[in-house]
Amino acid sequence: MRLEGAMYPWRLRLVLVLLALMVAAIVWRIVDLQVLDRAFLQEQGDARSMRHLPIPAHRGLITDRNGEPLAVSTPVITLWVNPKELAAAKSRWTELAAAVGQNPAELAKRLNDNKGREFMYLVRGLIPEQGQQVLELKIPGVYGIEEFRRFYPAGEVAAHVVGFTDVDDHGREGVELAFDQWLAGVPGKRQVLKDRRGRLIKDVQVTQNAKPGKTLALSIDLRLQYLAHRELRNALVEFGAKAGSLVMVDVKTGEVLAMVNQPTYNPNNRRNLQPAAMRNRAMIDVFEPGSTVKPFTVAMGLHSGKYQPETIMDTRPGSLQVGRKTVRDVHNYGVLDITGVIKKSSNVGVAKIALEVGGDQLYNTLQQVGLGQDTGLGFPGERAGNLPNFRVWKPIETAVMSYGYGLSVTAVQLAHAYTVLGNNGISVPLSMSRVDQPASGVRVLDANVSRQVLQMLRTVVDEDGGTGSKARVPGYQVGGKTGTVHKTIAGGGYAEKQYRSVFAGLAPISNPRIACVVVIDEPRPVFGQYYGGFVAAPVFGKVVASAMRLMNVPPDNLPVLAAEDQGAAQPAKGGRI
């Protein structure tokens, strides 16, 4: 018998050639990988052992206008575990729970529920010393991550303005959210070598440096913020009110110098935080401004040329029939001039002015001073209020609009409108950040008209019989307007015994520097009083008195010494006092 290979020798040769080619290909591949293309194997090896860990970047510092910190980032350690690894060290679970202050049974349940995973947060935001103590226990499967956590030195005083960040350091409320991209840093990258169990073997290099966030200087003056917070809180306690807001604005630059709300919260400890306490009521809550709108109705009348400050208005008998409705005053004020209409807060007087000049002019005036308009602050959740579009208003609509009903505004909008009166009729944009170069404003009211209205507002506070006498500030001429409005109820109409007490004013009248608005929600009547002049005006007076001193504003209403006293104060010739 002849062998099959001998009968077909070409088959053997073919197999040998194929084997030779395979050996040659393998040899060539070995040479290529080991000599010519070594980077491939290195990359594959690195992919299984090299890791890029993020380098945390801290958020930018938030300060007040004077550089006082309002939000800072502090380093913390976040502990995480690999449940698969930790399962092999069950005997140390109790030790681990005690080290991180957790219930052993709850921790064991979490680990068992996640035993198939390789990552689970153990505890976040520990101070470095605490985190390091846990890591030094050398418990298998327990690791740490360097992070940053926000801390707010001013606490509840600036909470509604500054806001807060979440556990991942992203802005969630207030300025932290509005300026999140500006404040957020860019994380870096660090190359490290780890073994197959994920344990760090070597810190190789930093491949990308972390970039911290940018600093943000707010327009807020922390000193004024503290004062406003204290006085508003005291007023709520005194009158048993539900809530309150205070806004103070620089008349010339439009900077918001103080903005406080009650109730408030501590952003450093939000365990028992109530959602209602988080609302920045000064920007979110809308209300009918009531009599605080009357100065703008009077400004419209003066600008029309039909009225002068000394024009006589007959408000008798304290009521005015408009169609089937009746406009009423608190008292029958009789015959008043235009200044007296503001001083006594006569609904009848301003209604007559509005009906005479026209609803279209009233709408234009209120719109131009910013009522019911977007302030442009870009604050999260800010409301624009509501100024009904003018079509053909019924006479009663024009009448009630003239004394602040039928429209809704926020405290910030009302403060902005009053800056127009204090800035000679020029409206400047509002700003929550410090303004180094004031923006150019737009004239919306005649300068002479603005000055005339300012003097009328002064009589409300500084003259006997004015409704805002409790807002007086010793040494300074102050002007303002009180407002007391019924609260609306769901479904329409007004609550019978629920009010908002409002005061809006400027100081000093001779050269206004600040505009301030105080809103007290649902004050409990004290001695039967719940009016803006009794509840909100004293808060204005106390805050503005301190603000004038802190801002070094020269007094403009000091008592004049008698002639003989002045003579007695002169030193004798050659002598001295």
Query: Active-site positions?
Result: 291
CA 73 – CA 59 distance, rounded (Å): 6
Coil, helix or strand for 284? helix
Q: Tokens in use for 21?
A: 């080619």
The terminus-to-terminus CA distance of the chain in angstroms comes to 148
Long-range contacts of 379-384 (CB under 8 A, 24+ apart): 379/174, 379/178, 379/280, 379/283, 379/432, 380/163, 380/173, 380/174, 380/177, 380/178, 381/280, 381/283, 381/284, 382/283, 382/284, 382/410, 382/412, 383/283, 383/284, 383/285, 383/286, 383/410
Note whether 156 and 266 are within 8 A (CB). yes
What is the C-alpha radius of gyration for the chain, rounded to an integer number of angstroms?
A: 36
Kindly report the backbone phi and psi dihedral angles of residue 119, in degrees, each rounded to the nearest multiple of 5, phi listed first: -145, 135
- Peptide bond just before 523 cis, omega within 30 deg: no
- Contacts of residue 355, defined as CB under 8 A and 6 or more positions apart, other chains included, come to 322, 395, 398, 399
| 122/408 Cα distance (integer angstroms) | 49
Q: Where on the phi/psi map is residue 529: left (φ > 0), alpha (ψ -120 to 50), or beta? A: beta
- Decide: 501 and 532 in contact? Cβ < 8 Å: yes
Instruction: Give the C-alpha separation, 415 to 121, whole Å.
Output: 47
Give yes or no for a contact between 304 and 318, defined as CB atoms under 8 angstroms apart: no
DSSP element (H, E) containing 255 = none
**Phi, psi of 445, rounded to the nearest 5 degrees:** -135, 150
